[in-house]
A and B are shown apart, each in its own frame.
Chain A
Amino acid sequence: MADINAMKAKELLAHYQVTLDEEARQAKKEGRLVCWSASVAPPELCVAMDIAMVYPETHAAGIGARKGALDMIAVAERKGYSLDTCSYARVNLGYMELLKQQALTGETPEVLANSPAAKVPLPDLVITCNNICNTLLKWYENLAKELNIPCIIIDVPFNHTMPIPHYAKDYIAEQFKYAITQLEEICGRPFDYDRFYEVQQQTQRSVSAWKRVASLASHKPSPLNAFDLFNYMALIVCARSRDYSEITFNKFAEELEENLANGVYAFKGNEKNRITWEGIAVWPHLSHTFKSLKSLDTIMTGSAYPGLWNLEYTPGDWHSMAEAYTRIYINTCLDNKVDVLLDVINSAKSDGVVYHQNRSCKLMSLLNVETADKIQKETGLPYTNFDGDQTDPRNFAPAQFDTRVQALAETMTARQ
């Protein structure tokens, strides 16, 4: 039995990630239900019914970071998936295809056996939510069809006008209730509303601990390098309805707060420039992007991406929960998106902004020109962009990234 209290945050992070996968495998073995979920879909409903959760986006990012994406992508592309579609989806649909083959033949395909992918079981149901893209609707439609399993959809309509109208919250709340009837049918037992309320409360504690960590990057110099948020994000995605995330984030916050009190900063005494990173990480090249910035004494202190999981709401209040899941900044109009990003940039005390033109993510790329223009007008801060991809390693050129951030660093330094 691991001694949780003795573990450092980094150890807790690794421990709980392994534990979550093990729990999912165990659930499958015991005949309990496993659900694959979109990363910002509400887990509260399934967790309340004791369903083990697996998160394909996080799983795909992990495969990408371990340099195993191309093998999975090749499987998906052989199935007919265009290389223009989201690479998370291609990695996951490739992985799913291999698991399916394994289940049908009883033999493990060689490419799966040799993959560095964390082993997760096939789902009995899937749940998706389009608050971070409509691609998640198409991807999960395909999972449900390929595996002939139920698909729960929480559709949060694009908020073209803010604030979020009451009727949109009504519609989302009705979907939560519909999802409950689906779950009751799938599980063959009544929904556990008491447990659901507890899970909602847990989720709020996890979110609060997550915000506590992220807020530490506002100190100048910063005790937190926001690249770490990309790593710790795995738990706010996969375990926000469990205490695993709360324990880990609070531990991490304590460590950072202690460092701050002792004058220990992420970049020691070398923090020269601070940037906000707009977009998803380039997982297969995470280390390169980090080191390239670090070599320029440039620390990332802002990123709106981890903030997607700041899902604050009042437990027991359907409308409040609906609002939390629909107000994700990329699910709102440009003006609101810019306002959210401005908050991030300002609280991060950023000197510049880096925009990831992500070949895999149209929603997080096609407004970058207008976003950058508005932010620049508002703040006067310099910015740059680079071409990349969240998990397909072929769509990122290290040299382009280096040149772009060097130029940005020079401009930032010149302004000081």
Chain B
Amino acid sequence: MDRINYIINELKCIADNPKKAMDDYKKATGKGAVGIMPLYCPEEIVHAAGYLPMGIWGGHRKISKSRAYLPPFACSIMQTVMEMQLDSVYDDLAAVIFSVPCDTLKCLSQKWKGTSPVIVFTHPQNRVIEASNAFLVEEFKILKARLEEILDTKISDESITESIRIYNENRQVMREFTQVAAKYPHIINAVTRHSVIKARFFMEKSSHTALVKELLAEIRQLDPKPWTGKKVILTGIMAEPNEMLDILNEFDMAVVADDLAQESRQFRVDVPDDDDPLYRLAKWWQDFYGCALATDVKKYRGEMLINMVKEQQADGVIVCMMKFCDPEEFDYPIYYDQFQQEGIRSISIEIDQESQAFEQIKTRLQSFSELL
């Protein structure tokens, strides 16, 4: 149990202090870090350059300076990202990579207030045709060339292929982790689960994989205990800040699976096999599913969530609705209807990174838990 606690603590420290993780990486490797804006950037290309891809997911802080640049109806995560740009938090990054799968990200990609150079690429949204892969390969070629220029290095196909291998291994281990976490909620509570997953945004992936593998091996030696609390599934962009997850722990709600953009959506699908590594990365986007930011006229997300509930025998779904995230807000009425038809209970809570008061969420989650 000591080793388990040690690894969890190690990952929690990294998740809670990305700056230190980045500085340690720089010290150890002599190389720097590249910022990765949400969502779905081919981090493997950065990894292949030997740089640390650092996830940029905002933070729990008060908004003041960014008010001058964003109206109040920009989403909560971009408000805090903007605030942190203005506080020079990201200026140690060698570059920042933006994808633009929503209107807010298109705008934000054009107004970076930090000092790092910005690289933008666009995901194709007509994902059913082969031509979309060809388009994305060209976008990735430009992204790679710009990175090579900024980082003054060459990124070979072989190194990208190796990075894809490392990332796919991490994805697989993370999928295992979520399964194990569902079986051992006594050990992996909601906050711990989030920290283990979040740490992967600030670590070289093979180191993260090694730690999580060891953690899984240690946990599997223990007998799972029966869980008397409730089992829930989270869906949305992210489930932060930790104060919100603390409430789940308080009311004995175990997260048995998630459909969060910051969590399982990152490792739900592996990068497929093929010869050309950039084509493989492009094809990943075509194979990807169940996210509000990836156009799907069949709207499979609701069915996917229903299947997750059944497989995990979950008691309900908590919709972590990012404040002012319209892609997520458009998905909600569709899957909510499907939940109703299936008799699946759900609750929508607002994710506001700026929030300092959690009493309302606490009351709502408490009644939800009692209802389940």
* Bind each other: yes
Which A positions have Cβ atoms within 8 angstroms of B?
Answer: 79-82, 84-86, 89, 130, 133-135, 137-142, 144-146, 151, 153-155, 157-158, 160-161, 165, 167-168, 170-171, 174-175, 178, 333-334, 357, 359, 362-363, 365-367, 369-370, 387
Query: Which chain B positions have C-beta within 8 A of A333?
Result: 110
Known contacts: A142-B299, A154-B126, A362-B104. The answer to whether A81 contacts B333 by CB under 8 A is yes
Query: Which chain A positions have C-beta within 8 A of B326?
Result: 82, 84-86, 135, 138, 362
Stretch among B31-39, B52-60, B68-76, B83-91 lining the A interface? B68-76
What are 29 sample pairs from A and B whose C-beta atoms fall under 8 A apart?
Answer: A79-B337, A80-B333, A82-B321, A82-B332, A86-B326, A89-B330, A130-B125, A134-B101, A134-B327, A135-B326, A138-B292, A140-B297, A141-B297, A145-B297, A153-B126, A157-B123, A157-B124, A157-B125, A157-B139, A158-B106, A167-B138, A170-B134, A171-B132, A174-B131, A363-B103, A363-B107, A366-B74, A366-B111, A367-B111
Any A CB within 8 A of the CB of B249? no
CA A203 to CA B121, docked complex, whole Å: 32
CA A367 to CA B74, docked complex, whole Å: 11
Nearest 7 Cβ contacts at the A-B interface: A174-B131, A366-B107, A80-B333, A138-B330, A160-B120, A171-B135, A334-B110
Query: Which range contains the number of B residues in contact with the other chain?
Result: 35 or more
CA A168 to CA B136, docked complex, whole Å: 9
Instruction: Return the chain B residue nearest A80 by Cβ.
Output: B333
CA A130 to CA B122, docked complex, whole Å: 12
Inter-subunit contact A362/B135 (CB<8 Å): no
Any A CB within 8 A of the CB of B108? yes
Inter-subunit contact A145/B121 (CB<8 Å): no
Inter-subunit contact A171/B329 (CB<8 Å): no
Residue picked from A85, A158, A168, A170, most chain B C-beta under 10 Å: A158
CA A145 to CA B338, docked complex, whole Å: 12
Inter-subunit contact B134/A171 (CB<8 Å): yes
B290 → chain A closest CB, angstroms: 13
Query: Which chain B positions have C-beta within 8 A of A154?
Result: 126
Inter-subunit contact B329/A141 (CB<8 Å): no
CA A247 to CA B209, docked complex, whole Å: 67
B21 → chain A closest CB, angstroms: 29
Inter-subunit contact B333/A334 (CB<8 Å): no
CA A141 to CA B126, docked complex, whole Å: 12
Inter-subunit contact B334/A366 (CB<8 Å): no
Any A CB within 8 A of the CB of B148? no
Query: Which chain A positions have C-beta within 8 A of B246?
Result: none
Inter-subunit contact B103/A145 (CB<8 Å): no
Any A CB within 8 A of the CB of B336? yes
Any A CB within 8 A of the CB of B216? no
CA A178 to CA B333, docked complex, whole Å: 29
Which B positions have Cβ atoms within 8 angstroms of A?
Answer: 68-71, 73-74, 100-104, 106-111, 120-126, 128-129, 131-132, 134-135, 138-139, 142, 292, 295-299, 321, 323-324, 326-327, 329-334, 336-337
Inter-subunit contact B100/A141 (CB<8 Å): no
Known contacts: A145-B334, A175-B131, A363-B106. The answer to whether A137 contacts B295 by CB under 8 A is yes
A383 → chain B closest CB, angstroms: 15
Inter-subunit contact A167/B102 (CB<8 Å): no
A261 → chain B closest CB, angstroms: 44
Known contacts: A84-B73, A141-B330, A367-B110. The answer to whether A134 contacts B299 by CB under 8 A is no
A328 → chain B closest CB, angstroms: 12
Query: Which chain B positions have C-beta within 8 A of A89?
Result: 330
Instruction: Return the chain A residue nearest B106 by Cβ.
Output: A158
CA A153 to CA B324, docked complex, whole Å: 25
CA A362 to CA B327, docked complex, whole Å: 12
Instruction: Return the chain B residue nearest A387 by Cβ.
Output: B71
B350 → chain A closest CB, angstroms: 10
Inter-subunit contact B108/A366 (CB<8 Å): yes
Inter-subunit contact A84/B111 (CB<8 Å): no
Query: Which chain A positions have C-beta within 8 A of B334?
Result: 142, 145-146
Known contacts: A170-B131, A366-B71. The answer to whether A134 contacts B103 by CB under 8 A is yes
CA A86 to CA B102, docked complex, whole Å: 13
CA A139 to CA B104, docked complex, whole Å: 16
Inter-subunit contact B122/A160 (CB<8 Å): yes
Query: Which chain B positions have C-beta within 8 A of A178?
Result: 126, 128-129, 131
Query: Which chain A positions have C-beta within 8 A of B139?
Result: 157
B227 → chain A closest CB, angstroms: 31
B247 → chain A closest CB, angstroms: 22
Query: Which chain B positions have C-beta within 8 A of A175?
Result: 126, 129, 131
Instruction: Return the chain A residue nearest B118 by Cβ.
Output: A160
CA A403 to CA B52, docked complex, whole Å: 51
Inter-subunit contact A171/B131 (CB<8 Å): yes
Query: Which chain A positions have C-beta within 8 A of B329?
Result: 81-82, 84-85
Instruction: Return the chain B residue nearest A130 by Cβ.
Output: B125
Instruction: Return the chain A residue nearest B300 by Cβ.
Output: A145
Inter-subunit contact B74/A362 (CB<8 Å): yes
From A135, A155, A357, give the contact of B71 (CB < 8 A): A357
CA A214 to CA B109, docked complex, whole Å: 32
A sample of 12 more A-B contacts (CB under 8 A), given A160-B122, A171-B135, A366-B111, is A80-B333, A85-B326, A137-B125, A137-B295, A138-B330, A141-B299, A157-B123, A157-B125, A160-B100, A170-B135, A366-B70, A369-B111
Inter-subunit contact A370/B110 (CB<8 Å): yes
